[in-house]
Structure 1
Amino acid sequence: MTSYVYSSVLRDYIEGVIRQKRSLGFSYDTEARILLKFDRCCTAEGCTQPRLDRTLVEAWNAKRPNESPATRMGRISALRQLALYMVQMDLPAYVTPTRHHPKVPRYVPYIFSATELGALFAQIDSCTYCCEVPYRQRVMPLLFRLLYGCGLRLSEALCLHLADVDLETGVLTIRDAKFHKDRLVPMTEELLERCLDYAQLVHRNSEPEALFFVGRPGHPLSGGNVYKNFRRFLWQAGISHGGWGKGPRVHDFRHTFAVHCLARWVREGKDLAVYLPILKTYLGHYSFRDTAYYLRLIAELYPDITARMEQSFGHVFPEVEVAPNEAD
């Protein structure tokens, strides 16, 4: 977690709400960064009293040029939580009503077909040497296979250390993921073989604490770099991109893994009452609601198995209306 230095008259309450949220299991890093900007705004406005006036709050909430609804929503939400915290402390604070929150369009996950995955991985595997990122042609094929083959979040893959990849048992140790949860993720034999080959080529003399996926010499591999390569692979594979916020996204490999996994189990006649908790644990979901969302996607994408799904889980579909969180 990143720590920031707050200096306005509200610094004690900003630090207090961050401590409270983190004690409940939230990383609250993005919100802490947003509140740092608000802290500086308070200083610039000459605030001298520990209060949140409506005028100040509404000025902060106002839409900024070229700002997306999701970004604005993040600013409003962070300040609203600070206001609620201050109200708990019996301090005057204007709490933005939820009806004033901007409407954020729901993102519908892009589920890659088997044909699209084949075309995409063909382009990823043809990734060539780059002098600025010497191991790019080794990193990209394995990274994207782990994202799809293990349903990892990109942040989880980029935070893997060499010691977290058990090259004997084929088990990944995901540490301090969402809600500070750790979990073990078994790999297929094919992925294990690829990890072994990669480690022998890239980490022959590395220490156990070295990051598994390397970027530029002396620098970790960044999410921005991965996304830039991903967009190129999409274009080369002939898969259209809808533009910013519309996908496909790197995170859709995780969604595709879950949907393909559940669809295969249904076709094999597996008891989803037994297998759904396994998928929940494997993905590191906080609740069954997140995992159950994929049941609805299966019903929409695979009409041939809808009847079998409804026999056991038809009651789930009407209740699941919201897509998993961006970081799920």
Structure 2
Amino acid sequence: MFKSIYSDILSQYYCLRSESLSDSARKHELCYLKRFDAYVYDRLSSNGSLSETFISGWVRSLSGKSSSVENEVIVIRQFLSYLSLCGEHAFIPPVPKVHEDYIPYIFSDTELEEIFTSADNVIQKDFKTDPYLVIEFPVVIRLLYSCGLRIGETLRIDMEDVDLENGILRLLNTKGNKHRIVPMSSAMTDILTLYCMAMGIYGTNTGWLFPSFKSDDHISDRAIKRRFEMVLKNNGIHLENRKKYERGPCLHCMRHVFAFKSFAQAERCGRHLDDTIPFLSIYLGHESINETSKYLKFSNELYPEAIEAFGSYMRGLVPEVDYET
């Protein structure tokens, strides 16, 4: 798994860490540790050389969004701290500043209608594709849209955590190892009930909500994402002149649409955003309101009426400055 002079201790550290991480967090951590291991392997042949100069050079070699670099440095900082506890001198780098200029893509109502219509009418042509996908895909994207779920936590829902009688989903070990209860609308509950009947899993309390036909695992997120990309391409949905930190249309944008429509509905109903956002932050499974703040950055060309209210709220809550965590 690791090949540098620190391979044994990296394996030991990862083994300890993996016991307390979710599947998604474990994959990200392993990726960061492997990249650091490769950097060390190419440059060091003896212990005791993780100096400030060496570690600072590693930090400078990192590329990508500032938030991604921050996450990678945090993971390696933890490993270097562990290494120090084991008696090996290692410089612990500061966490780099994050410049948050991320802008999500928000599907218009017309685009959403095109997406759902296409999803409902996809014809399975590739025999290699999981045959359950044609049934599951329309339901999955409606859950993402109507409940603001992440794709990973959606596909990992077990039937014992589905309460169709009360319209409730229980999500366990999601991002940040959080658990939460997600109420569904009556329309979404009806759709999910009909889906479970069609799949022959209605009334059961074992197995995946979105099983794979080809294995005992759930349907893969890759299969869902590929199908969604195909739907976008077929409908000509894309972002012209996309800037560096603008997210083009993708599956995760359904979660942003949910957040935007929730904010907009609260505003139309006369509810103050400072009353709405804390509840929505919990509903979305965010660690803090700062994380929810990204969901308030929308295109003012698409939604000019909402921008002023949202922007005013966030200026008072989260100043636009660099920050360290």
What TM-score does the superposition give when structure 1 sets the normalisation length? 0.77
Secondary structure at the counterpart of residue 182 of structure 2: strand
Match of 2:264 in 1: 263
**Residues 72/193 of structure 1: CA separation in 2 closer, same or farther (3 Å cut):** closer
CA distance in 1, matches of 2:280, 2:231: 28
Counterpart of 2:271, as a letter, is K
Match of 1:150 in 2: 147
Deviation at 1:229? 0.8
Match of 1:32 in 2: 30
Secondary structure at the counterpart of residue 138 of structure 2: helix
Deviation at 1:274? 2.4
Deviations 1:107-163 (CA, angstroms, capped at 9, x unpaired): 421011111111111111112235432122211110000001000011110111111
**Residues 136/40 of structure 1: CA separation in 2 closer, same or farther (3 Å cut):** same
1:112 aligns with 2:107: yes
CA distance in 1, matches of 2:301, 2:321: 13
For residues 1-328 of structure 1, the aligned pairs below 5 Å read 9=6, 11-12=8-9, 15-16=12-13, 19=16, 27-36=25-34, 38-39=36-37, 47-49=45-47, 52-53=50-51, 57=55, 73=69, 78-87=75-84, 91-96=88-93, 106-129=101-124, 131=127, 132-204=129-201, 208-218=205-215, 219-240=217-238, 246-297=247-298, 301-306=302-307, 308=309, 313=313, 315-316=315-316, 319=319
CA distance in 1, matches of 2:185, 2:169: 11
Deviations 1:265-300 (CA, angstroms, capped at 9, x unpaired): 101212323222221111111111122343443877
Answer whether contact 1:230 1:250 (CA < 8 A) is retained.
yes
CA distance in 1, matches of 2:289, 2:301: 19
CA distance in 1, matches of 2:297, 2:234: 31
Answer whether contact 1:109 1:252 (CA < 8 A) is retained.
yes
Q: Count residues in correspondence.
A: 314
Deviation at 1:76? 5.3
Bigger RCO of structures 1 and 2 (CA < 8 A, at least 6 apart): 2
Deviation at 1:319? 1.5
Deviations 1:247-269 (CA, angstroms, capped at 9, x unpaired): 21211110111011101110121
CA distance in 2, matches of 1:314, 1:107: 15
CA distance in 2, matches of 1:127, 1:114: 20
CA distance in 1, matches of 2:196, 2:231: 24
Deviations 1:47-106 (CA, angstroms, capped at 9, x unpaired): 453652567657766759xx856798365554344334445666422445666x9x9995
CA distance in 2, matches of 1:56, 1:68: 20
Secondary structure at the counterpart of residue 319 of structure 1: coil
CA distance in 2, matches of 1:273, 1:59: 43
Question: What residue ranges of structure 2 are gaps of 5+ in the alignment?
Answer: none
State the identity as a percent.
27
Q: 169-178 or 296-305: which moved more?
A: 296-305
What TM-score does the superposition give when structure 2 sets the normalisation length? 0.77
